[in-house]
């Protein structure tokens, strides 16, 4: 039986959805508001959501004190680079797992996923030493490789799920039509999996952009991305909440804008194949 959709029910659902959304968004909102406060009103007790003396001085000081464009560029290179490299490796891997699975494919997928369950700190020392030894420490190449490897299980899993939704007969038809393996992937599989590939790409750019543990551990100055930029504002002299908030807002703003404009694509990709 279909569930009755009454106006009252619609209102309740809308209010509930907005409440949850605001609850999730509140810390971000607090951070943005704090970034426009003076240091004194940022630490006022009791806390103030709004203040009388709004200022943009924090942004000016953060901009003047550090080389924001360099951190921003490093973040772009690291997140986009690691995602693209991950896709280049994961598309053929997911193709073979989805369309020509072996006896151990399921085990392999589980093993790949299990590596994500391992605490990152457990491999911190070996990875740190290896990166130092082979000259990848504090390089963008090193971070691209590290983040690609960290996110590869997720990329493979997501693509595998999308590829499984593509009927095998269509790929067989391409094979009958004379398509080589490369042409099959290029002309048939990839265009059909575009929503899935796009959402995988977006999600991984966001994950890589927000990654802080490895980006802070494996960099000092040259390759440091925006996560390290934020960390640099937690000074030993004490926390300057307003400036820290301004730096954080500047760090998350690009990815927030990307997420906002691509939300339709993300939702479409994440629910791809859920309804036939």
Partner 1 sequence: MGQITLKQVRKSFGDVHVIPGVDLDINDGEFVVFVGPSGCGKSTLLRLIAGLEDTTSGTIDIDGKDATNLPPARRGLAMVFQSYALYPHMTVRKNIAFPLKMAGMSQAEQDQRVERAAKVLNLGSYLDRRPGQLSGGQRQRVAIGRAIVREPAAFLFDEPLSNLDAALRVGMRQEISELHQSLKTTMIYVTHDQVEAMTMADKIVVLNAGRIEQVGAPLELYNKPKNLFVAGFIGSPKMNFVTGPEAAKHGAHTIGVRPEHITVGDGPWEGVVGLSEHLGSDSFIKVDVPGIGVINIRAPGELGVHHGHTVRLSPGHRIHRFDEKGLAL
Give contact residues for partner 1 (rule: CB under 8 A): 167, 169-170, 172-180, 183, 187-188, 191-192
What lies within 8 Å, CB to CB, of 152 at 6+ separation is 86, 89, 90, 112
CA angle 33/36/39 to nearest 5° reads: 105
Nearer to partner 1, 157 or 163 (CB): 163
Is 179 or 270 the residue whose CB approaches partner 1 more closely? 179
When the beta carbons of 183 and 217 are compared against partner 1, the nearer one is 183
Q: Can you tell me whether residue 104 is helix, strand or coil?
A: coil
Q: How far is the CB of 186 from partner 1 (least distance, A)?
A: 11
For the bound state, the minimum distance from the C-beta of residue 105 to partner 1, rounded and expressed in Å, comes to 16
Give the nearer residue to partner 1 in terms of CB position, either 186 or 253: 186
Q: Kindly state the smallest distance separating residue 86's Cβ from partner 1, in Å.
A: 24
Spatial separation of the C-alpha atoms in residues 71 and 127, rounded to whole Å: 23
Write down the least CB distance from residue 270 to partner 1, Å.
20
Q: What are phi and psi of 223, to 5 degrees?
A: -100, 10
Q: 170 by DSSP, 3-state: which? A: helix
Residue 189's CB: how many other CB atoms inside 10 A? 24
């Amino acid at each position: 039986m279909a569930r009755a959709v009454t106006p009252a029910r619609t209102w309740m659902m809308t209010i509930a959805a907005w409440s949850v959304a605001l609850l999730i968004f509140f810390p971000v909102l607090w951070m943005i508001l704090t970034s426009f406060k003076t240091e004194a009103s940022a630490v006022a007790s009791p806390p103030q959501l709004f203040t009388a003396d709004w200022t943009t001085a924090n942004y000016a000081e953060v901009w003047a004190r550090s080389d924001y464009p360099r951190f921003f560029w490093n973040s772009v290179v690291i997140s986009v680079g690691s995602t693209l490299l991950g896709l280049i490796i994961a598309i053929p891997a997911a193709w073979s797992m989805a369309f020509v699975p072996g006896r151990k494919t399921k085990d392999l997928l589980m093993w790949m996923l299990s590596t994500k369950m391992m605490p990152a700190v457990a491999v911190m020392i070996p990875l740190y030493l290896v990166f130092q030894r082979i000259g990848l420490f504090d390089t963008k190449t090193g971070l691209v490789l590290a983040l690609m490897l960290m996110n590869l299980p997720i990329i493979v899993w997501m693509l595998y799920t999308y590829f499984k939704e593509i009927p095998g007969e269509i790929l067989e038809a391409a094979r009958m039509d004379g398509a080589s393996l490369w042409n099959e992937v290029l002309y048939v599989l990839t265009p059909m999996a575009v929503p899935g590939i796009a959402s995988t790409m977006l999600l991984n750019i966001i994950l890589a952009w927000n990654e802080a543990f490895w980006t802070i551990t494996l960099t000092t100055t040259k390759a440091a991305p925006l996560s390290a930029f934020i960390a640099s504002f937690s000074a030993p002299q004490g926390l300057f909440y307003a400036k820290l908030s301004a730096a954080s807002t500047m760090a998350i703003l690009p990815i927030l804008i990307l997420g906002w404009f691509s939300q339709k694509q993300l939702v479409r990709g994440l629910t791809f194949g859920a309804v036939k």
